[in-house]
Amino acid sequence: MGVAIEAYGLRKRFISYERVGFLKRRRVTIEALRGVSFRVGWGEVYGLLGPNGAGKTTTVKILATLLIPDGGYALVNGYDTVKQPQAVRRSIGLVLYPDKGFYSRLSGYENLVYFGRLYGLDKRTAQARARELLEIVGLREAMDRPYEEYSLGMRARLAIARALMHDPPILILDEPTIGLDPLSAREVRELVRKLSKEGKAVLFTSHNLWEVEEVCDRVGIINNGSMVIEGSPRDIKDMLGLKYVVEVEVLVNGHVEVLREETLTPVHTLRKLINEAEARGLNVIRVRINEPSLEEVFVRVVRSEGR
């Protein structure tokens, strides 16, 4: 698997001012990024996580050429985000604010055709591409409805369709499911997985940790402008020593009891509990293995970094 996105030692500072007393202000330097590095491979969905203010959106904007880093560099599809911004923009489809930037009186189809022309497509190609994408994102039935009548979920899917109009090899999706109902969010996740299976690289940010665990191949957690930990959700849980919870329901004198144990080796523990139950002559009704969640990872990492 080749590399689609490469970030090396990204640094970014912002200058702000805070009030001191009634009339005076004091200059404050905010270190938004403190040397963030990571890679995203082709055909991979990479989740970028972190609490509010951690540096996720700053990182996304640097990769999308909307901000210039103060240090380090980033390559997107092999192009430098500072030295070759136009080539980077041709290589990416960006969803930064899913419900922004469309024309409310135009239909979904007309909006896509318009943006296709802005991407340099001729009219016939833009129309064909718009119809194709509306089918892909499940909006074919609503293609002629005004955008102002679209639900939040429909707007999010249309935003992804807009990002795909020029068929970019890389997608950068910043909170693409924010505010969506569960069904619409699931449709967006399914679309993201489908696109990655077609070979596109996807950088995905979200505050929904269950969603990230479901859709992302690897994740990186940023806190206070630094990359804290990185790997597949399973690998990160193993690194932190998070435990499974194994439960075996048994029948004891007509009543259900639960044998429960936390463990790093769930299969071995499950066998042990079943053997113990059978040795006591108990009937096993149900077994359950609860895997530690990405939320536990997030809380553990952020709290440890805050000490």
What is the reported pLDDT for 123? 94
- What residues of the chain score a pLDDT lower than 70? 1, 305-307
Task: Summarize pLDDT for 253-287 with one digit per residue, the tens.
Answer: 888 888 888 888 888 888 898 998 888 888 888 88
What is the reported pLDDT for 209? 81
3-state secondary structure of 119: coil
3-state secondary structure of 235: helix
What is the reported pLDDT for 147? 94
221: its two tokens: 């957690």
Q: What are the domain boundaries of the chain?
A: 3-239, 244-291
What is the reported pLDDT for 204? 92
**In this structure, are residues 245 and 289 in contact, taking their beta carbons and an 8 Å threshold?**
yes
CA nearest neighbour of 59 among 293, 288, 221: 221
Range 3-239 classified under CATH 3.10.450.50: no
Q: What b/e string do you get for 127-143 counting C-beta neighbours within 10 Å, with b at 16 or more?
A: bebbeebbebbbbeebb
What is the reported pLDDT for 200? 94
What is the reported pLDDT for 306? 56
> What is the distance between the alpha carbons of residues 159 and 155, in angstroms, rounded to a whole number?
6
